Amino acid sequence: MCYSKRQAASLKRKRIKFLESDAPAAYKFIMSTRVKICGITNPADAQAVVKAGADALGYIFYLKSPRFVELEQAAEISKTLPSLIMRVGVFVNAPEKLITRAIADCGLTMLQFHGDESPEFCTQFGLMSMKAFRVHGRETLEQIPKYHTDAYLLDAYSSTTLGGTGEKFNWDLAVEAQKFGKPIFLAGGLTPENVAEAIGKVYPFGVDVSSGVEMAPGKKDHAKVKAFIDAVRHAE
């Protein structure tokens, strides 16, 4: 399923503001496709992501992830970042105490929930939130409206891992998810080579990449990061 030129133009005009009415003024305008580079674990990668022009970076506070970062390390990285880049904390069934501490110590501007969190849990922290869904099939879409987060992230399903699989899912389902009226971040198997195709098909609010721009889990390939972001900008 692809958009017609008329539908695509309409969707571009209607791209939703990333924040709702209580958003800081800096974000209250329609943006081009947002780029989030996830799985940041060290200062050098963070600076490369900023230099390449990313809009957001993600810290994974999930111990079982190969891209896990200690809270103290993430806090130090955040001190070096420009104020406008978004700092996203990625959590999987984390205790409230860890989340509130990460918000305070790392200056998080968005929370991403990748586990079995309830709809109420995701929106209780007074910060922008995004619920991630591992798309297994159309039945996954039935869960989305239960969550009143500011955005949704659609990722590939895996029976062995919660993200960073490097695998794609059926992008037609991401197109269908646009009907829920919230910003959609597309993830799962995106690379510098296919991200333009993904944008042309889905017209997501944002794209999220981790393994597709790495030389090893938790270590970014700076050339791939730049190539990925350049591909996004040229696709718009």
Active-site residue 155, yes or no? yes
Spatial contact of 112 and 88, defined as CB atoms under 8 Å apart: yes
What are the boundaries of each domain within the chain? 5-235
Phi, psi of 34 (to 5 degrees): -75, 145
Calpha distance 189→173 (Å, rounded): 15
Q: Is 14 exposed, middle or buried (0-12, 13-18, 19+ CB in 10 A)?
A: exposed
Nearest residue to 107 via CA among 68, 72, 78: 78
The residue annotated as part of the active site, out of 45, 55, 150, 155, is 155
pLDDT score at 28: 36
What is the pLDDT at residue 64? Answer: 93
Tell me the CATH class for 5-235.
Answer: alpha beta
Residue 106: active-site member:
no
Give the Cα separation of 93 and 91 in Å (integer): 6
Largest CA distance in the chain: 48
Cβ pair 77, 58 in contact under 8 A? no
Mean pLDDT of residues grouped by 10 in the chain (236 residues)? 50 43 41 92 98 97 96 97 96 98 98 97 97 91 96 79 64 93 95 95 95 95 98 89
Distances (CA, A) of 129 to 4, 63, 199, 226: 31, 21, 22, 27
Which residue of the set 22, 38, 105, 150 is catalytic?
A: 38
